[in-house]
Amino acid sequence: MALESPKTGSGLQTRHVFLDTDVYRRYGHNLHDKVLQRLLQLTKDHICTLHITDITMAEIERQLRELAADVAQAVNKGNRLLRNWRSARLQRFGNRPDAPVDVDASVLANEALSGFGSFGFIIHHEFNAITHSAFGVPPKAIFDSYFQRKPPFDKPDSKEFPDAFVIAALDSWCLQRREKIYVITKDKAMLRAVSQTKVLLPIATLEDFLALLVDDPQVIEKVVRIFSSSTWDTVEEKVRDEVAHLGTVYTGDLHDGEVVDHRPSDGPVELIDFDVISASDNQIEVVAKLKAPIEFDVQYLDTSSAWWDSEDKEYIGGDTETETLELGTTLSVFLVIDQQDESIEDVKLLTRDVNVEESDETYK
């Protein structure tokens, strides 16, 4: 039975996604929330790339300060009511319970901001987010929009300057790279402004974004068939060409080890798994995880003939040697399949750096 053409326009239009501050606030700025953890896994699998701006980070910090002040005010107000109620009971029954403890708003704010440090670390190092300098956007175009009452300044008394700078930074990045970015927000002014651009795609919730991922058995079956054919030779050839562009980090046991050269070695490039990102009548976009054989030349200090200087905590003497490691390296690649002739239109290496060691290799 012939496979039907997949539904036009299904899947993601782009792998890039930006979360507005209201998204982080919705999840209590808790990056361990299950929905955000789903997004984290997608970024680790190179299925999508998270974007954030310096203004967004500054706004989140402000929100945490305000939230701490609101919590302290609510707790202390409750404590006053509780003290009044207990005072009445004391006069009637004579018992004296422990007095409720008030919350210091500044202390609570400092606690929130100390957590904000880990928030920023996780965003940048675990989510591996691309950070944009919205503070560095030239202000003239922003003020032109303000005086001409263009979104997000199209309502009376609109003063959405942070959003305007954020949108301008994302828009500029997309235009320079011919990319698009999903902007997830429920802020009406920002949605109107995003809709005015040609490269930013408005979407209300993170759940809506995650629901765009393709889960069509017919499309998946077709990709499996194409990858099982001689077409895979094209993927293998292009992956070998891209290996030279990999960054390398040596994490093994060789003393002062450093990768000085690397190249593809003999052996097949094997498919481990794949995810269909989008499918239309013209093409299918796929992120695939592969295992590719690569040789790494590691230069290191042979300490067998050296002596240890305990004062300077370093080896004196020794010879510089080079060892070649051949490893089956896990890589993520972005593939575009032509629906009509089932050829591979494009292969882009998504993995940027590989960790190199003698055994138990880990890669990102």
Three-state DSSP string of 214-259: CCCHHHHHHHHHHHCCCCHHHHHHHHHHHHHHCEEEECCCCCCCEE
Within 8 A by CB and 6+ apart from 256, the residues are 300, 301
| Ordered DSSP codes for 297-333 | EEEEEEGGG-EEETTTTEEES-EEEEEEEEEEEEEEE
Within 8 A by CB and 6+ apart from 229, the residues are 342
In angstroms, rounded to a whole number, what is the distance separating the alpha carbons of residues 38 and 16?
15
Residue 255: phi, psi to the nearest 5? -65, 130
The per-residue pLDDT for 63 is: 85
- Asked if residues 321 and 306 have their Cβ atoms less than 8 Å apart, the reply is no
- Asked if residues 247 and 291 have their Cβ atoms less than 8 Å apart, the reply is no
**158 to each of 42, 197, 238, how far by Cα in Å?**
36, 19, 51
- Asked if residues 326 and 359 have their Cβ atoms less than 8 Å apart, the reply is no
Within 8 A by CB and 6+ apart from 211, the residues are none
**110 sits in which H/E element:** helix 105-121
**DSSP E strands, the chain:** 10-11, 16-19, 49-53, 130-132, 181-184, 200-203, 247-250, 258-264, 270-279, 283-302, 307-309, 314-316, 319-338, 344-349, 353-356
In angstroms, rounded to a whole number, what is the distance separating the alpha carbons of residues 302 and 354?
24
pTM higher than 0.95, yes or no? no
> Considering all CA atoms of the chain, what is the largest pairwise distance in Å, rounded to the nearest integer?
90
User: Considering only CA atoms, which of 214, 137, 202, 195 is closest in space to residue 169?
Assistant: 137
Q: How far is CA 62 from the centre of its chain?
A: 22
Q: Show the CA angle centred on residue 261, arms to residues 256 and 264, nearest 5°.
A: 130
Give me the average pLDDT of each 10-residue run along the chain (364 residues).
37 92 89 90 92 93 83 81 70 58 76 74 91 90 77 72 92 94 92 92 92 86 93 92 91 89 92 89 91 93 76 74 91 92 91 83 48
- Asked if residues 259 and 250 have their Cβ atoms less than 8 Å apart, the reply is yes
In angstroms, rounded to a whole number, what is the distance separating the alpha carbons of residues 93 and 363?
68
| 218, amino acid identity | Q
User: Considering only CA atoms, which of 172, 125, 164 is closest in space to residue 147?
Assistant: 164
The owner of tokens 């989008």 is 278
DSSP 77: H
Q: Which two tokens stand for residue 208?
A: 């809506």
